[in-house]
A and B are shown apart, each in its own frame.
Chain A
Amino acid sequence: MQDSPQRIVIVGATSSIAEHCARLWAAKGKVALTLVGRDAGRLERMAADLRVRGAIVTSRTADFSDPRAIRALADAIVAEGVPQQVLIAHGSLPDQQQCQRDLDAAYEALDVNGVSPVLFAEAFAGHMEPAGGVITIIGSVAGDRGRRSNYVYGAAKGLVTRYAQGLQHRLAGSGSALKVVLVKPGPTATPMTAHLPQRGLAPVEQVARLIVDGSAAGKPVVYAPGKWALIMMVIRHLPAVVFNKMNI
């Protein structure tokens, strides 16, 4: 394996965090990246960039909400060689108010941020369990406790959190060398948050660095940046009488 490049699959590759992770992996050299996304044009532009940065790159488009399509895609990727690393990074930040009014919006937010990432992880886990490797799933600090400002998104990320715990438990029991890394980024400066005040947003390069390093180390949970581990511990343990007075 030392002579063949490390195979890395990135689902939701055109997200800003995923793209910066891909650049860090490419800079290490000797990696073969498979990019999975929705927009073929954007995937190809990203692939060209990563080739200049030294990676071998292929890209595939996918339907992110169809369980059969997810299974077929994972099988097809694995047929070309079992990956050592899978990063599942797709998602979108929904408008909480809209989700409260419009159940279609709520359903879509739950699907793309919760159900779909879980199905992708499950589709790869079975293939990777024998040889081992790392599956990294991007959750969120929002999944640690439901809050009025974004609880539909938080619920989807909470689903991802429970799923990752369960998969970690299963793999620990089977003695597999497959690790599951759950990343919980705080608010990050990406094109999606450029319209917000930039104070307190973590640079996307820093978050990507923590994801890549945390994945290499096989950590069960990575808060990015690390300060969120402390902040969320406090928030998780606040009694309801205090918590309910907070407008967060």
Chain B
Amino acid sequence: MVRVSSWGRLDSHEHDLVPLSDRDQAVRAVAGGRGLPQGNARSYGDVCLNPDGRLWRMTGLDRFIAFDPASGRLRCEAGVLLRDIQRMSIAHGWLLPVTPGTQMITVGGAIANDVHGKNHHVLGSFGDHVLGLRLARTDGRVIDCGPDREGDWFAATIGGMGLTGVVVEAELQLRRVAGPWLVTDTVPYRNLDEFFQLADTSETGWEQTVSWVDCLSGIGRGLFFRANLAEIPDRIAQSGRKPKRVPFVPPVSLVNGLSLRAFNEAYFRANTLKAGYAVAHFEKYTYPLDNLHDWNRMYGPRGFYQYQSVVPRAAGRAAIEAMLAAIKASGQGSFLAVLKTFGDRAGRGMMSFPRPGVTLALDFPNRGASTAALFERLDAIVRDAGGRIYAAKDARMPRDLFESGYPRLAEFLQYRDPGISSAMSRRLIGS
């Protein structure tokens, strides 16, 4: 048994860790077994944990199977990191269409959480670019599914939190790019009206939109970041930056009310001064924290939560305002606060998180009861607005909010693998 924790480092539990390193062996190992597939364990909460049970660790299944540089179709094992795909494919002029704010996640994890990125309004979520996948079930069955075959299995597995079986391999459609460079633009905004105006006007003309919001300001001031691929024909794979590391877990969270106020003020001012256009390497611009290894340690020994919700656009303005006010009143929150609008499209998966509306994501250092109390206030706002919480980030949402947020839950449960269970599934589904 090995102690394993997820990215939030809230706690760690004993797991029977079974590394899978060969895809034929993987199918045999899953057949007749009970457990949970785990990728690179970058989910924040308990979606990737199975305390006192078995974890099939997928990161050893990290081989490419075939890549066609003419069509951009890639077949690979499920444990391949998005980083390794992009560093290989950029040399041929291809990148993944959709990636989240880290590329240190596996293909299987990206599918299981149907992850999204800054370009949701143009390209949807990760599952929209999966051409097919192979699912190994604990009853020994192997299901090859995709948008055009076994479509129900596919829709259940995209965003299915790993609960429909173990994804052992997948075929992805990459997208053509001129090179690794982005043209970026930074625009400060002083309140939520300005944010929504920027979000709406940027949807056409800008492929990537996201914003940092100052969670202590209460008025929703922040920085709006938008970017497009640049037509610069140069294919160097890496940005050349040197990684840094948080070397140890500090005894208390480095993120607290005092440090946060100073940091947010400085960050807002510095970026206001250098607002405007720039050219940046996609690795540096899109995955800034990948360069700070073990950054999750900075929240100290008690770990941290991330709270990410999406609320429908109609209720969005008022709901975001209410959430920001509640966060400001609580004096909690962190520098990592993201506000973004999703495009007018739902995910392919029965349990996909992205939906039309506006999403707010924040880290919170774990301060026990006061953090839990804040989350309850935020839950009430999300519930009233008809929104949902992102499972990939969650460690504590109440079951009723899960059920109301994901109306296709009953349909999804028909495709569950009875041999697969996670801390999250036991908490939110009861088994």
Contact = CB atoms under 8 A, between A and B. Distances in A.
B21 A16 contact: yes
Contacts of B63: 45-46, 48-49
Interface in A88-115: none
Contacts of B60: 16, 191, 194
A48 B24 contact: no
Interface in A185-216: 191, 194-198
A48 B22 contact: no
A196 B17 CA distance: 9
B33 interface: no
Contacts of A48: 63-66
A49 B2 contact: no
A45 B21 contact: no
B88 A45 contact: no
Interface in A34-79: 41-42, 45-46, 48-49, 52-54
B88 A52 contact: yes
Interface in B178-214: none
A198 B64 contact: no
B23 A45 contact: yes
Interface residues of B, number: 19
A47 to B, nearest CB: 10
A52 B64 contact: yes
A191 B66 contact: no
Contacts of B24: 41
Interface string A13-28: 0001000000000000
B263 to A, nearest CB: 31
Contacts of A194: 2, 17-19, 57, 60
Nearest to A46: B63
Contacts of A46: 63
Contacts of A41: 22, 24
A52 B66 contact: yes
B21 A49 contact: no
A191 B91 CA distance: 29
B60 to A, nearest CB: 5
Interface string B18-35: 110111100000000000
B268 interface: no
B2 A45 contact: no
A14 B18 CA distance: 18
Interface string B251-267: 00000000000000000
A195 B20 CA distance: 12
A42 B22 contact: yes
A48 B62 CA distance: 12
A195 B21 contact: no
A195 B3 CA distance: 10
B387 to A, nearest CB: 38
Contacts of A191: 19, 21, 60
Contact of A195 (B2, B23, B64, B74): B2
Interface residues of A, number: 16
Given A194-B57, A195-B2, A53 B21 contact: no
B415 interface: no
Nearest to A26: B88
B67 interface: yes
Contacts of A196: 2
Contacts of A197: 2-3
Contacts of B66: 48, 52
Interface string B49-76: 0000000010010011111000000100
Contacts of B18: 194
A129 B74 CA distance: 42
A198 B2 contact: yes
Nearest to B24: A41
A196 to B, nearest CB: 8
Contacts of B22: 41-42, 45
Contacts of B88: 52-53
A45 B27 CA distance: 15
Nearest to B21: A191
Contacts of B21: 16, 191
**Chain B CB within 10 Å — which of A42, A194, A195 has the most?**
A194
A194 B20 CA distance: 10
A196 B3 CA distance: 10
A53 B64 contact: yes
A38 to B, nearest CB: 13
Contacts of A198: 2
A136 to B, nearest CB: 23
A46 B18 CA distance: 21
B70 to A, nearest CB: 14
A197 B15 CA distance: 12
A184 B321 CA distance: 59
A70 B23 CA distance: 29
Nearest to A197: B2
B383 to A, nearest CB: 40
A191 to B, nearest CB: 4
A52 B65 CA distance: 8
Contacts of A49: 63-65
A177 B2 CA distance: 47
Nearest to B87: A27
Nearest to B23: A45
A54 B64 CA distance: 11
A52 B19 contact: no
Interface in B140-177: none
A43 to B, nearest CB: 11
Given A45-B23, A49-B64, 13 more contacts: A41-B22, A45-B22, A46-B63, A48-B64, A48-B65, A49-B63, A52-B65, A52-B67, A53-B88, A191-B19, A194-B57, A197-B3, A198-B2
**Nearest 7 A/B pairs, CB to CB:** A52-B64, A49-B63, A194-B19, A191-B19, A191-B21, A52-B67, A49-B64
Interface of B: 2-3, 17-19, 21-24, 57, 60, 63-67, 74, 88, 91
9 contacts: A41-B24, A42-B22, A45-B65, A49-B63, A53-B64, A194-B2, A194-B57, A197-B2, A197-B3
